[in-house]
Structure 1
């Protein structure tokens, strides 16, 4: 799997987590703990995406 495909897969998962969080937040039986855990996963995924993108970009000092 190329880096571009891997990044796309992670972006898709980030989007899916966002949708899941939105649906849970609208639910009358929303579990705050579950929502917080999903938000944490989403944030960790975003951080991972940022690191991968930074590593994939050629450095200006090279």
Structure 2
């Protein structure tokens, strides 16, 4: 991705717009990854809580 930006700056073809769009894409992909990780963590937590509750119910 950085090579593309460097090439555009050297040739003088709208470097600012290219850089902005690439930065935006990078930010979006980071956000998506963190969202997915958050969902996975939430699922793990709820699963462990559910197991814990079932364990308590079975003891009684």
Q: TM-score range by the shorter chain?
A: 0.5 to 0.7
TM-score (norm 2): 0.55
Q: Between Structure 1 and Structure 2, whose CA radius of gyration is higher?
A: 2
Could you tell me which runs of 5 or more consecutive residues in structure 1 were left unpaired when the two chains were aligned: 1-19
TM-score (norm 1): 0.54
Q: In the comparison of the two structures, how many residue pairs are matched?
A: 42
Structure having the higher helix fraction is: 2
Q: Which has the higher contact order (CA 8 A, sep 6+)?
A: 1
Could you tell me which runs of 5 or more consecutive residues in structure 2 were left unpaired when the two chains were aligned: 50-60
